[in-house]
């Protein structure tokens, strides 16, 4: 199992990695700090699941998902991980191409439910 994590805040990145390791201790987890780094990683590597923050410098989550879908033409399941709390943002995220959505602070049970479902895609 190979995961790509995209998150500009180092603390959040490590927390997410540790949370994933609980359910998938043998997973290969690649950490990137923004959409641009993730985009470059995706040009030469394939993953089973991509989890991405939305608000990031250089390239945000919306720009990244656009490239994943329209340019790289990947069908890899994608999960938006974001602090946006307003209900309308969830629809916006799903409309933009993300398959799933997890809100921050991340609830462990919710994360593992989403991981399980998205990896069956
Ligand atoms: Mg951020």
pLDDT in tens, 71-121: 999 999 999 998 866 667 888 888 899 999 998 889 999 999 999 998 886
Q: How far apart are CA 41 and CA 115, in angstroms?
A: 21
pLDDT digits (tens, 9 = 90+) for 6-32: 999 999 999 999 999 999 999 999 999
* Ligand 1 centroid from CA 53, angstroms: 6
User: What is the domain extent for residue 94?
Assistant: 2-118
For the chain, state the CA radius of gyration: 13
* Ligand 1 centroid from CA 88, angstroms: 19
The CA-atom distances, in angstroms, between 88 and each of 61, 66, 84, 107 are: 16, 19, 9, 20
* Ligand 1 centroid from CA 9, angstroms: 6
Query: CB of 54 within 8 A of CB of 65?
Result: no
* Ligand 1 centroid from CA 76, angstroms: 22
Total number of domains constituting the chain: 1
CATH of the domain at 18: 3.40.50.2300
Q: How far apart are CA 101 and CA 107, in angstroms?
A: 12
* Ligand 1 centroid from CA 18, angstroms: 18
| Report field, pTM of the whole predicted structure over 0.85 | yes
């Amino acid at each position: 199992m190979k995961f790509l994590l995209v998150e500009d805040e180092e603390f959040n990145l490590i927390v997410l990695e540790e949370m994933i390791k609980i359910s998938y201790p043998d997973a290969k987890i690649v950490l990137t700090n923004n959409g641009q780094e993730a985009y470059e990683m995706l040009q030469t590597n394939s993953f089973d699941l991509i989890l991405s923050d939305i608000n990031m410098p250089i390239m945000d989550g919306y720009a990244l998902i656009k490239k994943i879908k329209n340019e790289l033409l990947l069908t890899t399941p994608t999960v938006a991980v974001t602090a946006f709390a307003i209900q309308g943002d969830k629809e916006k995220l799903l409309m933009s191409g993300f398959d799933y959505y997890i809100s921050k602070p991340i609830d462990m049970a919710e994360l593992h439910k989403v991981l399980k479902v998205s990896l069956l895609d």
